[in-house]
Amino acid sequence: MIDFSLSDEERAVRDTIRRFVDRELRPLEETVLRNERSGLPSLEPGVLTALQQKARAAGYWGPATPEEYGGMDLGAVMHAIVEMELGRTFVPFEFGGGADNVLFACTPEQKETYLLPTIAGERRSCFALTEPGAGSDARNIRTSARRDGGDWVVNGEKTFITDGSEADFCILFARTGEGVTAFLVDREMGWKSSPIALMGDWPAASLSFEEVRVPGENVLGEVGGGLDLALSWIGQKRYLIPARAVGASERLLGMALEHARVRESMGRPIADYQAIQWQIADSQVEIESAKWLTLYAAWRAQQGLDARHATAVAKLHGSVIANQVVDRVLQIHGGMGYTRELPVERWYRNLRVMRIFEGTDEIQRRTIARNLLKGHVALGTIGE
């Protein structure tokens, strides 16, 4: 028999994170809305740092970081559950103590300069893969790095790079004679960034490299092995996107339920009308299906099984249903949902990017279809 229950320890972690979200993050939502509508950052960096340190004092630091580096090493399933809880608010918060998983491929010397300071919150990285002409198809990147003595000289452009304007170093992927190679490139080496204005709060930027000189010891991993590193990063993170989508959708549905009970039309609460009830029911079914698809993908990753297909399914479904749910919730709120008096419109704008970044809907469908057509995945299997 399959046991879907959480252990006492896992339930305690979930409940503690939920209390943290309710007590520390949700009260900041009005501040976030007010700041963004005034053209200011969502939260002052000091506020975010203080929140991370408060969480650290409670034992929550680096949910996915190995214990040897001071992290919690919760495992993929609990990490997904943590992301679901964080998804219940639009306050842009991440627990401190983390680092891009590719940084664990650093040499001992690189770990001292890049990995450990990043985990400690003293440095900030960005993952520079996407280019204007190479989004989902990472193999087509054109940014180049040529050897010049013991150094590499980089030229090219990256776009839609998360935290690109805030990072002090980037994990850069460039084409070399041996293939694609990853480099650790400090901002002071000469690359520049420009923020990209978006409809949501995703902090994206474009990066430019013009004759940027990078020391040979800053190669991350093996020369020519950068694409494998990049794909491991993408695969490792992808199931966390539908996890956030599930948390956001549950919060939104809760808002719709509350509104439907108190809003009256033609002398009755709108919750009495079948048109509203069906939207609520459809949303609940979709959220539950996305939740279990996400947890299954995380479980496969945690068990060391190939999770790529399951993650593609979860990412596609979770991203789509989140957008369907927020659209219904806005509709249930009527004209008020379309105003900035309520945060629904903010959720509406923010969730749309989930269907684009970390692999578009179309790429997920392509992956799923190819796996089935080529026999890489069989129908009718359970946990295999």
Strands 219-220 and 204-215: unpaired
Spatial separation of the C-alpha atoms in residues 248 and 254, rounded to whole Å:
10
- Residues with a catalytic annotation lie at 358
Q: In Å, how far from its chain's centre is CA 196?
A: 18
Q: Where are the beta strands (DSSP E) in 125-263?
A: 125-128, 144-148, 151-162, 169-176, 179-186, 192-195, 204-215, 219-220
Spatial separation of the C-alpha atoms in residues 217 and 194, rounded to whole Å:
27
Spatial separation of the C-alpha atoms in residues 21 and 27, rounded to whole Å:
9
What six digits make up the tokens of 45?
């960096």
Pair 72, 1: CB distance under 8 Å: no
List phi, psi (to 5°) of 277.
-60, -40
